[in-house]
Amino acid sequence: MDKPTGLRKGLTSYGDQGFSLFLRKAFIKGAGYTDSALDRPVVGIANTGSAYNPCHGNAPQLIEAVKRGVMLAGGLPMEFPTISIHESFAAPTSMYLRNLMSMDTEEMLRAQPMDAVVLIGGCDKTVPAQLMGAASAGMPAVQLITGSMLTGSHRSERVGACTDCRRYWGKFRASEIDEDEVADVNNQLVASVGTCSVMGTASTMACIAEALGMTMPGGASPPAVTADRIRIAEQTGTQAVQMARDGLTIDKVLTPAAFENAMRVLLAIGGSTNGIVHLTAIAGRMGLEIDLAALDRMGRETPVLLDLKPSGQHYMEDFHHAGGMATLLRELKPLLRLDAMTVTGRTLGEEIEGHGAGFNQDVVRPITAPIYPQGGIAVLRGNLAPGGAIIKQSAADPRLMEHEGRAVVFENTEDLLTRIDSDDLDVTAQDVLVLKNIGPKGAPGMPEAGYIPIPRKLARAGVKDIVRISDGRMSGTAFGTIVLHVTPESAIGGPLAHVRNGDRIRLSVRDREIALLVSDAELARRAQESPVTVPSAARGYRKLFLETVTQADQGVDFDFLRAETMVGKVPEQP
């Protein structure tokens, strides 16, 4: 017997399937649907619009266009809500909720009858959450990005969230601008709805989604409020119907080749370090392990080509005017797996060909004249991070990438807040700031607190960068010589837990090393003297989170959400 489709899928259990369908149709007819409409392929549309999420402020227009596309192709669009997460409206941190959103997405895709789904996401955690959930649900799925915000203008200077937010806040902290000016710029940094306009995590995940083959071609770059974005939405709806008819399920798209392409793109765009964590989590849902050592090797042969802030100077709307991902992928073509399937049913190579020849522009550099000679992200190892750590070398100060200094330790974010701006803080520009307990279990949720502010007394003296190390993350819009994702984290007793003020730490990006210059015996003695207490909670989501969250090298996913068996590595081993 053929598998049920459309409204007949996944009937509610009443012990009588005929009655279940009869009842379902009776209820939906209460909304005015005809039998003819209900016989069509059903395309679910995951609506993540929320008053708390201005990055998804164009969701109503996108949904209208997706519905149009679905109906033009003869399908029935069914919009449904899931939770939505915005970076600045999620306490303690949006990352704490990413896995919850992925569970919501997965279970709603399973529970409700649909033959394909359009996932509308944009703000940092939403796209990874949706891809993780859809990967586990296993149906035809296509990602629709909300698109970037427009840039604003502050006293004739072009500004956009959030690299410029950090820059102006840094100026304010250093008393270079006053309260009136910081209030003025606050009105200009986010000039419209949409996601952050630089190569932060949202833009990174948009580019990664297209590199994975999970969006329509050209789906990463159109700004939120443009006609191009609406057209992509309509095309997405139409294609979702085709995917339902063709049975183009997500496992045919999210292959090792697709993840390898995504790794290349992450490196070549100078993408957010968060991209690694999310990509690892999405791959983990497909039973694939991202090989960090291989990512580092790929980085040595994959230059940064995209000239966007914070590594470069442009904004997402400029990338779109320069041809978007088609321009980048054309330049990267020799390094890509062109056989990877996309949601269009054509391969990535065919899609690149389909975009034709490029044109003159100055946002995507040719591979012969990159903005940075290696990939944006380097993977570090050493006795301070046996499970690895990362640094966004393209956004770091070259003078600090080979550095040895004295540790100035903060035990947690409260300790940091209390002391970082004190005139009594014993710190110089040659020191290494160490922040503990902001890892997956420590904070919890691995907040973006790894961008430790420059101590006020150093900022006032004109210091713009200092080596910083933590087990947390940082925003993709941030810059500096900042070592992140130290694994294992301090809260579960990783070596970071036992760093003390005055210890010497050596960072060598050239040798990919992060070393604590303290003997193993002394570290063991400290571990015995001050054992850590692993965080726990008595109830609720926090309990689930603390008991099951994995470390950064496994994507900070919950252990029970990863695929039951791991089937391979990315890139594929010969």
- Give the residues lining the site for ligand FES (CB under 6 A): 55, 86-88, 123-124, 161-162, 195-196, 200, 202
Long-range Cβ pairs for the range 330-335 (8 Å, 24+)? 330/355, 330/358, 331/305, 331/358, 331/364, 331/365, 331/366, 331/367, 332/264, 332/265, 332/268, 332/302, 332/305, 332/367, 334/367, 335/264, 335/301, 335/302
Q: Would you list the DSSP string of 192-251? A: SSSB-SSSSHHHHHHHHHHHTT-S-TT-SSS-TTSHHHHHHHHHHHHHHHHHHHHT--GG
How far apart are CB 327 and ligand FES at their closest, in Å? 22
Cβ neighbors of 157 (< 8 A, separation 6 or more) are none
* Identity of the residue, 86 or 506, whose beta carbon is nearer to ligand FES in the bound complex: 86
The nearer residue to ligand FES, 90 or 491, going by C-beta atoms, is: 90
DSSP one-letter string for 374-410: S-SEEEEEETTEEEEEEEEGGGS-GGGSEEEEEEEEE
Residue closer to ligand FES (CB basis): 196 or 378:
196
Taking the least distance from each CB to ligand FES, the nearer of 126 and 136 is 126
Nearest approach, Cβ of residue 202 and ligand FES (Å): 3
Residues 6 or more apart in contact with residue 165 via CB below 8 angstroms? 189, 477
Question: Could you give the 3-state DSSP secondary structure of residue 339?
Answer: coil
Nearer to ligand FES, 200 or 382 (CB): 200
Strands 568-570 and 42-47 turn out to be unpaired
CB of 124 to ligand FES, least distance (A): 5
Nearest distance from C-beta of residue 309 to ligand FES, angstroms: 13
Question: Minimum distance between the CB of residue 87 and ligand FES, rounded to whole angstroms?
Answer: 4
The CA-atom distances, in angstroms, between 285 and each of 131, 133, 266, 456, 562 are 9, 8, 19, 43, 5
* Residue closer to ligand FES, measured from CB, 102 or 195: 195
Q: What is the CA radius of gyration of the chain?
A: 24
Considering only CA atoms, which of 174, 125, 150, 182 is closest in space to residue 475?
125
β-sheet bridge partners, residue 505: 405, 516
CB of 394 to ligand FES, least distance (A): 19
Peptide bond into 488 cis (omega under 30): yes
To ligand FES, the closest distance from the beta carbon of 53 in angstroms equals: 7
Q: Which two tokens stand for residue 290?
A: 């991202």
Considering the complex, what minimum distance in angstroms separates the CB of residue 57 from ligand FES? 10
Cα 545 to Cα 130, 486, 491, 538, 542: the distances in Å are 18, 19, 14, 11, 5
CB of 88 or CB of 186, closer to ligand FES: 88
Strand 377-382 relative to strand 288-290, pairing: unpaired
**In the complex with ligand FES, which residue's Cβ is closer, 161 or 384?**
161
Q: Which is nearer to ligand FES, 91 or 567 (CB)?
A: 91
Give the nearest distance from C-beta 348 to ligand FES in angstroms: 25
Q: How far is CA 321 from CA 17, 105, 121, 210, in A?
A: 53, 33, 22, 17
Nearest approach, Cβ of residue 198 and ligand FES (Å) = 9
Kindly tell me which of 198 and 290 has the beta carbon lying closer to ligand FES. 198
Q: Which is nearer to ligand FES, 292 or 478 (CB)?
A: 478
The residues pairing with 117 across neighbouring beta strands, listed in sequence order, are 44, 141
- The CA-atom distances, in angstroms, between 368 and each of 82, 284, 303, 359, 518 are 44, 34, 9, 16, 43
Minimum distance of ligand FES from residue 122's CB (angstroms): 6
